Amino acid sequence: MDETQKWYLMKQEDGSVFGPITFDLLRQWALDAQISPLDKVSTDERTWTKAPMVPELEMDFLIEVSPDQYYGPTTLGAVREFLQMGEITGDTLITNCKDGSDRPVRDIAELQPPAPEEEQPVRTSIRLSLQQRIRDLEENLLEERRAREAAELRCEKLEARLAELSAKTY
């Protein structure tokens, strides 16, 4: 991978574009479960490719979330997040798209909790980050509505005053 190449990420849910960023950062986002299977990536912002189609992002796993429903392809980081959130269990089947194998989560060494001396701080879930972003946007929206209402009230008062002054001059 060309280390000088700049990349862009387009989020499927709202079309927002992030970048330019390095491929290393893009890959880290994928590994941290911040890129969904429906998100797209580009090097020129004109030609977009679904993120799982870029092999170096390692979005190679399907999660069987119910007998007839799968999530992915995604990274082991996303599988780990599903596990931490309680959305899947150790019995959940994970399909490795590279070799076609199906294994329960409990049999995937990379998904096992570290030994107590190796514990790392748990990364903030993207869902929690999105929930905070939604709360912030809702708060901003309320502030904007209040400001608009105050401006409309001032405008009405000024129009009434203008009408009053106009009536006096005639």
Do residue 65 and residue 110 come from a single domain?
yes
Question: Is residue 66 domain-shared with residue 29, that is, in the same domain?
Answer: no
Whether residues 30 and 48 fall in one domain: yes
CATH number at residue 13: 3.30.1490.40
pLDDT at position 42:
96
Report field, pTM of the whole predicted structure over 0.85: no
Q: With respect to residue 119, please indicate whether it lies within any of the assigned structural domains.
A: no
List the domain range (segments joined by +) for residue 75. 60-114
Q: Is residue 22 part of a domain?
A: yes
How many angstroms separate the CA atoms of 26 and 95, rounded?
23
* Torsion (CA) 68, 74, 77, 80 in degrees, nearest 10: 0
Q: Give yes or no: residues 135 and 108 share one domain.
A: no
45 and 64 assigned to the same domain: no
For residue 35, count other CB atoms closer than 10 A to its CB. Answer: 29
Q: Are residues 139 and 108 part of one domain?
A: no
Tell whether 92 is covered by a domain. yes
Task: List the CATH number of the domain containing 109.
Answer: 3.30.1490
Average pLDDT over residues 118-127: 52
User: How many domains in the chain?
Assistant: 3
Q: Is 50 exposed, middle or buried (0-12, 13-18, 19+ CB in 10 A)?
A: middle
Query: What's the pLDDT tens digit per position in 33-85?
Result: 899 999 999 999 999 999 999 999 999 999 988 888 888 999 998 898 888 88
Among the residue ranges 15-24, 28-37, 46-55, 133-142, the one predicted with the least confidence is 133-142
